[in-house]
Amino acid sequence: MSPRVVVCLALLGLAGLTACDRPADLDRPLDAQGPFALSHHVAWTLAADPAVALLQPATGRVTFAALSAAPRRVFPEPAGRGLLVIGTDGAASWIPADERGVGQAVRMPLTGDYTAVAFGPDAGRAVLYHAPGSSGGVLSNPNQIAILDLGGGAAIERSLRSFGGEPLGVVLGPPQAVAGADRQMAWVLAERYLSVLDLAAPTAREVVVHLTLAEDTRSIRPAQVVFGEVEGAATFFVRAEGSDDLFALTFPDDAPADEVPRPYLTQLPAGAGPSDVLALQVADGMRVFTADPGSATLSVIDPVTGRRVGVDAGARVSHLLPFRAQRADGEGEGWSALAWDDHGDTVVFVDLDLLERRRGRALTPLVLGAGVYDLQPLPGRRGAVARDARNRLLLLDFDARTATPLQAGRSLGAVRVDPGGDRIYATVVGDDSADYAVSVDVDTARVTAARLPASPGRLLLVPGAGRLVADHQAAWGWVSVLPLTDLDDDRVQVREGLLLQGAFDR
C-alpha cells in the first residue's frame, strides 16, 4: 500500500470519527509552520497540539518535543544546532538537536513579547530583543531585552538605557578572554552609539559607547560588527552607515569579572562609504577588508598601524563573501572572497592572503552577460555558483576564467551547495511541467535529475545527515528525501503523514 493511500485512509478515519463522542482537540487543525532546516533534522512547529516535530532524514525517525503553548515565533539557530520557539504564553523553549537525536527541551518564562534574536557563535547563549518598528501590548518597551542561557535554562530580562532610540540590531561575540576574565561580549546597535554587554555577567550595567561627539549632528548608524584578535587582544570592528571610518574597540588589560569593561575607541580609515567589512587572520597577520562601492575599491587595513591600501576592483562592489580556497601562489588553502554588487554583471574573486602585496594581481574578475544574484562560493575551490536574470545556473571557474551556463527548463527554484563544494543542487520545473530535483557535478557539469511527486515549496540541505529534503507543503507533512549524490527517480524516498504520527498519543 502506497504512503499516500495510508495517509488518505488515516484522514478518512479521522473524518469518520465526527459521528462519535471524542475529544474536541481532534477537531483542531495541525497548524504547522515550517519546515526549518537544522544540521541533522528538519523541523516543524504544531499549534493545535503544541509541539515541535523533527524528522532525522538519515534515519527516518520522527521525534515530537512538547511545547507549553502554541508557537508564536520560531528561530532556527544559524548553525542548525536547535530551534528557539516563543510561545503564546510568553515562554521561550530551546530544543537542541544533533546527530544523536533531539535533546531535552529547555523552557524559560518571559514577560516581554520579543520579535528578534541574536545567537552566540557557540549557541550557548542568545539575546531576544524587539526588531526596529515592532510593537505589542498596551505600552511596549523597545529597549527591553532577554539574555538566555540556552544550556542552563536561565533567562534574565532587563531594559537598556536609551538616548531617544531603539535597538537596530544585536551582535554576539564568541566566549573569550577579555579584560582579564572569561566573557562573552554583546553589542546592541543604536543610532549614534552602541551598548556593550557581558553575557557572562548578565545583570551588570551596560556600557554606552558614543560614535560621535556631542556637537556632531551627523546621522551615524552602526550596521556591522566583526571580531578579530590584534596582538593577542580581542578587538571588535564596527562599520557605521554615514561614516567613512571604521571604529576599532579594544579593552583594558584587566577589569572586575562582575562589571562590563569600558572599551577604548579608535578610528581607522576605510575608504568612501564602506558597505561591507571582514576581519580575518591572513598570511601577513590580522587585516580588515572593506568593500567601498562609491569608488569601486577594495580596502586592506592594518589595524596595528592604521595603514590602508586601496585596490581598484574594476567594477562596483558592495558585498564581500569570505570562504576558504586554494591560494594562487600554491601555498595551500587560504582566505578568499567573492566581491560583487546587487544584480551587477561582474563577480570578482579576491585572494585575501595576497591582496595587500599583489593588489590588482590578486583579483580575478568575471564579466557575465546578465545580472547576477544568489551568488554562493564553492568551498575549497576557486569557484562559485550563481543564478542570473536569464533563468540560468552559472558555474564560475576563476582559474579558467569561464562561466558555464546551465539553462533551466521552465523555471529555476532554490539552489544549494554541497558543504564539500563539489556538487550543486537545485529544483527545476522542466519542459514537461513536472518538478525535478537536480544534482550538478562541479568538475564535469554533468546533470542528473529525479522527478518529484509534487511541487517543492522549499529545498532544504541537511548537511549533517547528508540529505536533501524537498518539502511539498502538505498540512500533514509530505517530503521527498534525496541523497547528496547523483540523482534519479529510484533515489527519491517519499514520506507522507509525518505530522500525523502519534496524533492520538500526544
> Cell numbers of 236, please?
571588535
What's the CA dihedral at 114, 120, 122, 125 to 10 degrees? -50
Tens digit of each residue's pLDDT (9 = 90 or more) over 241-299 = 999 999 999 998 899 999 999 999 999 988 888 999 999 999 899 999 999 998 899 99
Of 6, 27, 30, 9, whose CA–CA distance to 18 is shortest? 27
User: For the residues 146-150, what does the mean pLDDT come to?
Assistant: 97
> Cell numbers of 206, please?
551596560
Local confidence band at 101 (pLDDT 50, 70, 90 cut-offs)? very high
User: Quick one: pLDDT at residue 120?
Assistant: 96
Angle at 340 between CA 337 and CA 345, to 5 degrees: 135
User: Quick one: pLDDT at residue 36?
Assistant: 97
Tens digit of each residue's pLDDT (9 = 90 or more) over 348-389 = 999 999 999 999 999 999 999 889 988 999 999 999 999 998
User: Quick one: pLDDT at residue 292?
Assistant: 92
Tens digit of each residue's pLDDT (9 = 90 or more) over 70-79 = 999 999 999 9
Contact partners, residue 179, CB within 8 Å, separation at least 6: 251, 252, 253, 254, 255, 261
Q: How far, in Å, CA of 342 to CA of 409, rounded?
A: 25
User: Quick one: pLDDT at residue 250?
Assistant: 95
Residue 3, pLDDT above cutoff 70: no
Tens digit of each residue's pLDDT (9 = 90 or more) over 422-438 = 999 999 998 899 999 99
Local confidence band at 4 (pLDDT 50, 70, 90 cut-offs)? low
Q: How far, in Å, CA of 486 to CA of 437, rounded?
A: 10
> Cell numbers of 380, please?
575549497
User: Quick one: pLDDT at residue 31?
Assistant: 86
Local confidence band at 306 (pLDDT 50, 70, 90 cut-offs)? very high
Local confidence band at 21 (pLDDT 50, 70, 90 cut-offs)? very low
Local confidence band at 23 (pLDDT 50, 70, 90 cut-offs)? very low
Amino acid identity, position 410? R
Local confidence band at 7 (pLDDT 50, 70, 90 cut-offs)? very low
Residue predicted with more confidence, 449 or 31 = 449
User: Quick one: pLDDT at residue 66?
Assistant: 95
Residue with cell 556631542: 214
Of 210, 229, 93, whose CA–CA distance to 163 is shortest? 210
Q: How far, in Å, CA of 461 to CA of 39, rounded?
A: 8
DSSP class of residue 439 equals E
β-sheet with 467-471: strand ranges across: 458-462, 467-471, 478-483, 493-496
User: Quick one: pLDDT at residue 373?
Assistant: 84
User: Quick one: pLDDT at residue 103?
Assistant: 95
Q: Are the beta carbons of 272 and 266 closer than 8 angstroms? A: no
Q: How far, in Å, CA of 21 to CA of 506, rounded?
A: 18
DSSP class of residue 23 equals -
Residue 16, pLDDT above cutoff 50: no
3-state secondary structure of 16: helix
User: Quick one: pLDDT at residue 502?
Assistant: 62
User: Quick one: pLDDT at residue 135?
Assistant: 66
Window from 2-16, 108-122, 207-221, 432-446 with minimum mean pLDDT: 2-16
Q: What is the mean pLDDT of the chain?
A: 90
User: Quick one: pLDDT at residue 134?
Assistant: 72
Window from 22-31, 162-171, 370-379 with minimum mean pLDDT: 22-31
Tens digit of each residue's pLDDT (9 = 90 or more) over 27-66 = 446 789 999 999 999 999 999 889 999 999 999 999 999 9
Contact partners, residue 435, CB within 8 Å, separation at least 6: 427, 428, 429, 451, 452, 454, 455, 456
Rg (CA), the chain: 25
> Cell numbers of 430, please?
522542466
Residue 218, pLDDT above cutoff 90: no
User: For the residues 212-241, what does the mean pLDDT come to?
Assistant: 89
User: For the residues 450-455, what does the mean pLDDT come to?
Assistant: 95
Local confidence band at 391 (pLDDT 50, 70, 90 cut-offs)? confident
Window from 18-27, 80-89, 143-152, 475-484 with minimum mean pLDDT: 18-27
User: Quick one: pLDDT at residue 330?
Assistant: 77
Of 234, 226, 246, 262, whose CA–CA distance to 306 is shortest? 246
The share of the chain scoring above pLDDT 70, in percent, equals 92
Window from 145-154, 161-170, 331-340 with minimum mean pLDDT: 161-170
User: Quick one: pLDDT at residue 389?
Assistant: 87
